[in-house]
Structure 1
């Protein structure tokens, strides 16, 4: 079967299409999936460019969507022909995070082979059903970005109608969070560095939009938009370079879901303001299988569909990463085959 692997030394120029052995038929408790799509995430980019080292020849990509071709003995959750989507932490079925989730040793596309391949044979716990009627490309956006946004707002944030949400930028997590927030009856303030993206954010329901390049102290602007109160939730994907502004923007007793490190890994934190506001700062990485099942169930009851910026074929995965690196996308970049 065809697959995209990363060679040592890692780098986008060292991604290669290889012919690998077919994984064969599933054993007891396993399913065989014909994969058709994956979506790009910052974690995948860090593995591909060598910032997060992995084994030479690792098959890339944590997100994978496809259709079940065969089931092993004892499998009752799935049947042949079901459309499925992968889990970021296949070993984390439910409950609170544990030691093995603190690293990526069992994460596809990092500690184990991922889904930039034609087929996969995995335990049933490595997949969930995809939303009804979604394309494989749409379903592939769930594993990392979609579930992260869901956990940030619904699982950890306990969002409710009338809440206010701040989302940063127009990447996959932020756009999914905007859509989830609006479906829950919340108001949304969105930031972007491009005036060209204002109209698209408005079309998705953003109530207020701030150009962070023109307004570097956007935390104060958020306070002004909320009559000095601040927002209930911040979906914080920037990290060190944006956290101070997010703390400024959140209300007393509010919630910040710390997800990304797009602006760097280290920085100053205004601890006095963090404490005086009694903010709940929750670090998180994606979520567990049960949360993904609940997210899919919610998607089946809504009209939400992921925003896909563009699609390339599998053999152009490196070019897709270069497009991601430029940061010009709105929503998700996907690869299909």
Structure 2
């Protein structure tokens, strides 16, 4: 089996799994100084875009292509490449198609999509000027494109809205929901979808605290909220997107209204994947490889499900004990350290809440 991987930044997360399965690995990367270039069997430095990876995939006669891209801008190019390569060369590309990317990469399109499939989302309006506002404060102002909290502002009054419009000509204005932030991964391939356990990302704040700065927990355990509802809703969204790969969905639960709201969808690897793996034993990036190998199925996922309590804590610079090999896997570890130096996080898992507390104290 020969697989072409696009992008090196996430490759160390799956290198152990690629080697374990005896896969011949070829990687394309546009930055010759990128990390992890020493891990695959072959590396090709190509210009930005999908023309280079497509050419390498064809010339190397690969069996499948797995993009490892964790940012939004290239996703539409990947989707266009997927449709071309699958149609003209019959090479499976394990990624979302054009329709799914167009619906999820623009928050306004996503809002309309939720309404079409009857999934609750916070009340919103499109503002072309501060005077258009009809929602009550506080509100959340966003741009259609963007990730990681970029260009998002919690506005408390018209002056805040005016300040936002000093930078932008239009805004997606959404009712601020006070409640719990939730993330969930859904895996999908060839019409089969499975929603993994949801992750609790903390409570909303009027200060707009970034999720990376919050302690997260898995599985999500919120009084009054059934995790089955989150999973059913996430499954419904993925089924209607009708595409392949990883779908990471953000939800908000309003305690006051007892209402689960869908916020956004990402068709790429996401920041809570370590917690999901720690909580249930299913590594979404490894499942992309299983899809490429024809080994992904609901039965295989359900047969491999495990049950742990987990948490993820920002530590800045980790100074605790070293993990066992492979260090990015929970196979021989109860913790994984990840993230760039100075901004590291540690994800820890245990069979009980008490054991988890003890491990947190030992490792942090």
The structure number with the bigger radius of gyration is 2
- Whose RCO is larger (CA < 8 A, sep 6+)? 1
